[in-house]
């Protein structure tokens, strides 16, 4: 009897899994299609002539007309979108008018810098933000709670470019505690063989510890600023989730049974609060990965944000659209990852699926 039941359960579970995978694949496909439509329309409605961006404004009309046809701008809008879709799906984002290189190569060159900066920043924001949020929830209404809330308010309110300039003035120009703008000093630039594009990882794997220290000295200030802003958001949301969990009946029951308070807070309540907190951290990471434009500009950080800024300033729309598409893909991917983690951490979600 039990074998038949188990077999029927497995047989019934397979269609549910296939249906869930199909739904996820369809959702991702439709989201990317919508993203492609938006980026395509952006490239058509901005007041920038793509032909002039290629040939300049002094080229004769015969050259203008020839390039206009070569770019497919003489075709109907739906044909232009179909060609754009085919190119993107084949990994062809066009060529940058500014660098004269393929957009995919440019993005592969600059994105590791943003990935490294964002990863260090989200680690700082999470390691500090989660305990601070828990602490504020446990001390609700007391001094500790007020301090955490004020720090979060400052994190939301202070302009990051102002904090960046202030940080460079104090910690770099006056105190000499950190290195200046850029990723690495030129003296160490050629001592690191770039393999992953993540200079901290590359220098550590090659045993270049002096170069590792120099890279860390460059990244610590901008990463700390971005981590502070992430910490403000993460601590606020952690506090909110923890207040909700600490008011639940299972917490009251655990206290009546004599369970130690630290275990109630850090094991039971935080474990349940971690389920929605995963989405908060994932979205914070996505915001950092999209290219922290002002931070990268202030610190001359050669990442996606600075690349996007230079492209916008020079009307390089191919680069702008390629970067925008990457940013959208990052948000879609991290949202999907957070949904999967959500279902893994919460058994109720798995049963509903």
Instruction: Say yes or no: 254 and 323 in one domain.
Output: yes
CATH of the domain at 176: 1.10.3720.10
Residue 9 reports pLDDT greater than 70 = no
Residues making up the chain, counted from first to last: 353
Q: Are residues 84 and 129 in the same domain?
A: no
Same-domain check for residues 217 and 262: yes
120: helix, strand or coil = helix
Per the domain annotation, does 121 fall within a domain?
yes
Q: Are residues 219 and 79 part of one domain? A: no
Which of 41, 59, 89 is the endpoint of a domain? 89
Contact 97, 314 (CB under 8 A): yes
Residue 97 counted as domain residue: no
Question: Is there a single domain that holds both residue 22 and residue 117?
Answer: no
What is d(CA 15, CA 9) in angstroms, rounded to the nearest whole number?
Answer: 11
Q: Please determine, for residue 217, whether its predicted confidence score (pLDDT) is greater than 90.
A: yes
Task: Give the mean model confidence (pLDDT) for residues 180-188.
Answer: 89
Q: Say yes or no: 154 and 216 in one domain.
A: yes
Determine contact, residues 225/163, Cβ cutoff 8 Å: yes
Residue 213 lies in a domain: yes
1 pLDDT band (50/70/90 cuts)?
Answer: very low
Confidence check: pLDDT of 12 > 80: no
Residue 317 pLDDT > 90: no
- Whether residue 12 is found in the same domain as residue 61: yes
Same domain, yes or no, for 223 and 84? no
Residues 89 and 325 sit within 8 Å (Cβ to Cβ): no
- Write out the residue range of the structural domain in which residue 55 sits: 2-89
Q: How sure is the predictor about 238, in pLDDT bands with cuts at 50, 70 and 90?
A: very high
Give 56 or 131, the one with higher predicted confidence. Answer: 131
Per mean pLDDT, which range of 47-61, 104-118, 138-152, 170-184 is the poorest?
Answer: 47-61
Question: What is the average per-residue pLDDT within 282-309?
Answer: 85
Q: Is residue 146 part of a domain?
A: yes
Q: Which residue has the higher pLDDT, 339 or 65?
A: 65
The answer as to whether 95 is a domain residue is no
For residue 351, is pLDDT > 80?
no
Q: Could you tell me if residue 265 is inside a domain?
A: yes
Shared domain for 163 and 265, answered yes or no, is: yes
Last residue of a domain, one of 43, 59, 89: 89
**Do both 45 and 83 map to the same domain?**
yes
Using pLDDT thresholds of 50, 70 and 90, give the confidence band for residue 349: low
**Is residue 306 pLDDT above 60, yes or no?**
yes
Which of these three, 57, 89, 121, is where a domain ends?
89
Structure-token match 């004769």, residue found = 60
Mean pLDDT of 116-135: 94
The pTM is what?
A: 0.83
Band the pLDDT of 2: cuts 50, 70, 90: very low
Residue 270 near residue 133 (C-beta atoms within 8 A)? no
The number of domains in the chain is: 2
């Amino acid at each position: 009897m039990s074998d038949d039941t188990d077999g029927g359960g497995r047989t019934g579970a397979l269609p549910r899994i296939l249906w869930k995978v199909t739904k996820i694949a369809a959702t991702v496909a439709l989201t990317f299609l919508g993203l492609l439509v938006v980026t395509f329309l952006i490239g058509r409605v901005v007041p920038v002539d793509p032909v002039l961006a290629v040939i300049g404004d002094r080229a004769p009309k015969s050259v203008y007309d020839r390039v206009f046809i070569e770019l497919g701008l003489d075709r109907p809008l739906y044909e232009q979108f179909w060609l754009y879709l085919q190119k993107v799906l084949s990994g062809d984002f066009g060529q940058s008018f500014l660098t004269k290189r393929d957009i995919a190569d440019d993005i592969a060159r600059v994105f590791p810098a943003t990935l490294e900066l964002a990863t260090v920043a989200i680690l700082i924001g999470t390691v500090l933000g989660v305990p601070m949020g828990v602490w504020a929830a446990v001390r609700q209404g007391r001094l500790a709670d007020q301090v955490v809330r004020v720090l979060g308010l400052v994190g939301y309110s202070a302009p990051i470019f102002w904090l960046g300039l202030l940080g460079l003035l104090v910690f770099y120009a006056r105190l000499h505690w950190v290195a200046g703008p850029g990723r690495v000093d030129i003296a160490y630039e050629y001592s690191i063989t770039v393999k992953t594009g993540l200079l901290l990882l590359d220098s550590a794997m090659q045993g270049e510890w002096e170069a590792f220290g120099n890279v860390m000295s460059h990244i610590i200030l901008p990463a700390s600023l971005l981590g502070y802003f992430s910490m403000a958001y993460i601590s606020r949301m952690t506090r909110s989730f923890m207040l909700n969990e600490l008011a639940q009946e299972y917490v009251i029951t655990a206290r009546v049974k004599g369970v130690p308070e630290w275990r109630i807070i850090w094991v039971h309540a935080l474990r349940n609060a971690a389920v929605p907190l995963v989405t908060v951290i994932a979205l914070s990471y996505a915001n950092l990965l999209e290219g922290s434009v002002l931070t990268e500009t202030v610190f001359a950080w050669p990442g996606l944000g600075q690349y996007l800024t230079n492209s916008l300033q020079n009307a390089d729309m191919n680069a702008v659209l390629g970067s925008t598409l990457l940013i959208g893909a990052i948000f879609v991917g991290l949202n999907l990852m957070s949904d999967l983690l959500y279902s893994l951490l919460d058994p109720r979600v798995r049963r509903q699926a």
